[in-house]
Structure formats: C-alpha cells, structure tokens
C-alpha cells in the first residue's frame, strides 16, 4: 500500500473526518464557502469558536440556519432590524449566529458556553436539531440558565401573515420578560 499525498483541499475535506488545523499556510478560499443550488455563498470566518454578528454580552441570541446567506436574506435582514428596533434593540446590541456556517458548531452546550445567553430565539431552527426538547412554534421553554423561544424563519412569516402575527405577539412578551 502506498501513501496518499495530496494538497487538494476538496480531496482532503472528502477524505478526512477530523478537523484539520493549518500550520501557517493559507487555506484556499473555497474551503470557506458553501454550495447553494448553483451559486456559492461566502460565509464569514473568525478566529473565535463561533462566527456571529452583533454583541454577545447582552445575553440576547438569535439562532438561524440560512444556507443561502451569511446571515439573513436582504429582505429578512430588513425585517429583523425593524422587528427588534420596535423593542429598543439593534442588530449591534444582540448576537446573531447562522448555524449553516460550517465553522459554527451545531451543539447547544457549546452555544451556551460561548454566548452565555439568557434569551435565545430559534428563527426557523428546529429544537430537535440542537438536541433540545420539543418546543411548539411561538412558545418558549425556560431552562436553568436561558429561556428558548422557538419561532418561524422570516421567510415563513413573509409567506403567511398569521405566522407573523403569532410571532409578534409572543416575541414582545418574551423579550419584555
């Protein structure tokens, strides 16, 4: 048997199941992207364990899974900013993490350790995918450290006005508590 020698990043990614750390060389940009239909999405990267936007020190965390965008679609970003502005918040004063970014661990325990949130909103992310108990849409579950609010993605709310109304009623109560 001979040794397999390659520096092709796609081949290495396909062959290796463990995380690979570099030893001072540049990792080609193609490793920092995700395929989406026929276009390529460039996700943000970070030296921290998670890539996120905003401020994690406020204790308010939004978790989403948008494989087609680094964070939100343009329409969803606008709706998000308007929604939280109505409650006196800005995108800079809350943390937003996209679990579709391959750098972000999809493990609730690690999310809790890194962000230390007191309020978590799952925007279209099923609680089961984070190994959480069943939480009905537009309801929340209080944990020992944080309260988790499970709701629809903005795209689901755009498509159904009733989902948007249900979200808004509960979200005001959740953030205000």
pLDDT at 47: 75
Three-state DSSP class for residue 85: helix
Tell me if 167 sits within 8 A of 161, measured CB to CB: no
pLDDT at 41: 67
pLDDT at 147: 96
Q: What residue ranges define each of the domains in the chain, with the CATH number in brackets?
A: 9-42 (no CATH), 52-176 (3.40.470.10)
Residues 6+ apart with CB under 8 A from 38: none
* β-sheet bridge partners, residue 97: 52, 63
Residues 6+ apart with CB under 8 A from 89: 60, 175
Tell me if 134 sits within 8 A of 166, measured CB to CB: no
Residue pLDDT, tens place only, 85-136: 999 999 999 999 999 999 999 999 999 999 999 999 999 999 999 999 999 9
pLDDT at 5 over 80: no
For the chain, the straight-line distance linking the first and the last C-alpha, in angstroms and rounded, comes to: 64
Residue pLDDT, tens place only, 36-84: 344 556 666 767 789 999 999 999 999 999 999 999 999 999 999 999 9
Residue pLDDT, tens place only, 126-158: 999 999 999 999 999 999 999 999 999 999 999
The DSSP 8-state label assigned to residue 127 in this structure reads G
pLDDT at 4 over 50: yes
Tell me if 161 sits within 8 A of 173, measured CB to CB: no
């Amino acid at each position: 048997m001979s040794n397999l020698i390659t520096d092709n990043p796609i081949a290495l990614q396909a062959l290796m199941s463990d995380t690979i750390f570099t030893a001072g060389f540049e990792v080609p940009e193609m490793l920092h992207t995700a395929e989406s239909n026929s276009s390529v999405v460039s996700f943000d990267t970070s030296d921290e364990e998670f890539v996120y936007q905003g401020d994690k020190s406020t204790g308010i965390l939004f978790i989403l899974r948008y494989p087609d965008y680094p964070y939100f679609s343009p329409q969803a970003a606008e709706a998000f900013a308007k929604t939280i502005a109505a409650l006196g918040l800005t995108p800079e004063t809350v943390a937003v993490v996209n679990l579709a970014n391959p750098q972000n661990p999809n493990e609730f325990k690690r999310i809790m350790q890194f962000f230390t949130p007191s309020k978590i909103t799952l925007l279209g992310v099923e609680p089961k995918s984070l190994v959480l108990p069943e939480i009905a849409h537009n309801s929340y579950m209080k944990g020992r450290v944080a309260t988790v609010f499970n709701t629809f993605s903005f795209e689901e709310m755009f498509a159904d006005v009733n989902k948007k109304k249900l979200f808004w009623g509960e979200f005001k109560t959740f953030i205000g508590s």
